[in-house]
Amino acid sequence: MQALLELQELDRKIAVCRAEEKELPKQKDKYAIHRKRLAAELKESEDKCKQIQQKQRECTGDIEQRQEQLKKYDTQLYSIRKNEEYKALLHEMELMKKQIAIKEERIIALMLEYDESKAALQADKERIEGEVKKIEQECKVIDDKLHVLISERKELEKSRGPVAAKVPHDLLSRYERVRKVRTPAVVPLNDETCGGCFMAVRPQIVNEILANDKIHACQHCGRLLYHVANLETSSADAHGESIPS
Ligand SMILES: [Zn+2]
């Protein structure tokens, strides 16, 4: 029974490791979300620059178009005979020139805007790179922890064989069966109740457990039962402190 409890403790530790191995990578989820957000921020900053460049192109195209039109008007001017028409066209040309001047001012404003956005983009890039680096470091810490955890668990698993070998074969297979459905599979008998499900154990079985005659399972939950006092005696035996005749 002592060896079985030792095995159970080992199995418990292995299970704790496995649970942590499962949980640990989840800590990286928040970093993945953070990374996505940073990527979105960077894209937004880049898009802003591109949008300004696009507006600049539109303005330039607009000016070119109007200048083209202006040239046409200029040639038309010479073929016009009527004074009224001549005046009207001149007026139209003035208007066109004003529109061009407005667009040119707009281009200058856009150039300033672009310089600002570009500087902001550069600053964003540097900040985001720094944050990504930090995230990578944090993720590495998690990966390292996981690595240590896995090797610890493998060590525990390696030591399991020799511990299991100390448990009598039939008891071991009973333990393995119970363990699949209930953990801990081995529990103490407390005041005639099962230490696992807390239900009363039949008096006759209680007596047999107390007498240390046989290893019984709880009739309610199937866990294997032991009496703590018996355990202490057998552990004392193991240390050679009291040898019963
Ligand atoms: Zn029980």
- Reported as a pLDDT band with limits 50, 70 and 90, residue 64 is very high
Distance 181 CA to ligand 1 centre (A): 12
Q: What is the pLDDT of residue 23?
A: 95
| pLDDT one-digit tens code per residue, 149-180 | 999 999 999 999 999 999 999 999 999 999 99
Q: What is the pLDDT of residue 240?
A: 41
What percent of the chain clears pLDDT 70, i.e. is strictly above it? 94
| pLDDT one-digit tens code per residue, 5-36 | 999 999 999 999 999 999 999 999 999 999 99
Distance 162 CA to ligand 1 centre (A): 28
Distance 64 CA to ligand 1 centre (A): 90
Distance 193 CA to ligand 1 centre (A): 8
Distance 169 CA to ligand 1 centre (A): 23
Q: What is the pLDDT of residue 211?
A: 93
- Reported as a pLDDT band with limits 50, 70 and 90, residue 234 is low
* Residue ranges covered by each domain of the chain: 2-165, 169-238
| pLDDT one-digit tens code per residue, 67-120 | 999 999 999 998 988 999 999 999 999 999 999 999 999 999 999 999 999 999
CA dihedral 4, 9, 10, 16 (to 10 degrees): 150
Q: What is the mean pLDDT of residues 203-217?
A: 92
- Reported as a pLDDT band with limits 50, 70 and 90, residue 243 is very low
If you classify domain 2-165 with CATH, what class do you get? mainly alpha
Contacts 24+ apart (CB under 8 A), 8-14: 8/175, 8/184, 8/185, 8/186, 10/156, 10/159, 10/160, 10/163, 11/160, 11/179, 11/183, 12/183, 12/184, 13/156, 14/153, 14/156, 14/157, 14/160
Instruction: Give the chain's radius of gyration (CA, Å).
Output: 42
Q: What is the pLDDT of residue 244?
A: 42
| pLDDT one-digit tens code per residue, 38-61 | 999 999 999 999 999 999 999 999
Angle, CA of 40, 41 and 44, to the nearest 5°: 85
Distance 197 CA to ligand 1 centre (A): 4
Q: What is the pTM of this model?
A: 0.71
